[in-house]
Amino acid sequence: MLFCADSRVCPESIFDQRSDSIFETRNAGNVVDDDVLGSFEYAVEHLHVPLIVVLGHKGCGAIHAVCEAQDRPLPNHLRELQKHMEGIHKDVMNAHDRHDAHVLDELSAKNAAQQARLLVEQSSVLAAAVKKGDVRLHYAICDMESGVVEFFDVAKDAPRK
Ligand SMILES: [Zn+2]
């Protein structure tokens, strides 16, 4: 599972799982980079995980930072984070006030969807496993206040079980 690094997001608690039951990679904004791809390829090929979830969350600081910056480049390595989220904000921002919390939550969902798609677009290993039905791929949004997690399908050609 790919989660935001936000310390308030605790996957084991959210899903009522033991600490050794979730293979997780984390970074700010739950974005797909080469390290994440390598981790997931390992998890699929060697650990045979049956499910991949990209979990975004409401009130995400990384989403907020990228949203605030708009087209201005963020400093230093934050620019990398921004690049991974490129394009997610434009259509949402055009329709809303950028300071609205609902807009940020909408962006969190959009980002999680985009990152989940990138997993299969950028990794032939993951794409093949999903196509074959060995792995289900979803994205989800967590509301940390209520503890509710909403799950969504990623691609229409992803198998549903
Ligand atoms: Zn976050």
143 CA to middle of ligand 1, Å?
11
Q: Is 159 a member of any domain?
A: no
DSSP, residue by residue, 51-101: EEEEEEETT-HHHHHHHHHTTSPPSTTHHHHHHHTTTSSHHHHHHS-TT-H
- Residue 67 structural domain: 2-153
One digit per residue, the tens of pLDDT, for the chain of length 161 reads: 999 999 988 888 889 999 889 999 999 999 999 999 999 999 999 999 999 999 999 999 999 898 888 888 999 999 998 898 888 877 666 666 556 778 888 889 999 999 999 999 999 999 999 999 999 999 999 998 898 999 998 865 444 43
Q: Is 48 a member of any domain?
A: yes
Q: Is 112 a member of any domain?
A: yes
**pTM for this entry:** 0.89
Structurally, how many domains does the chain consist of? 1
Q: Is 50 a member of any domain?
A: yes
Which 8-state DSSP code applies to residue 125? Answer: H
Residue 48: CATH number of its domain: 3.40.1050.10
89 CA to middle of ligand 1, Å?
15
Q: Are 55 and 112 in contact (CB under 8 A)?
A: yes
Q: Is 161 a member of any domain?
A: no
65 CA to middle of ligand 1, Å?
10
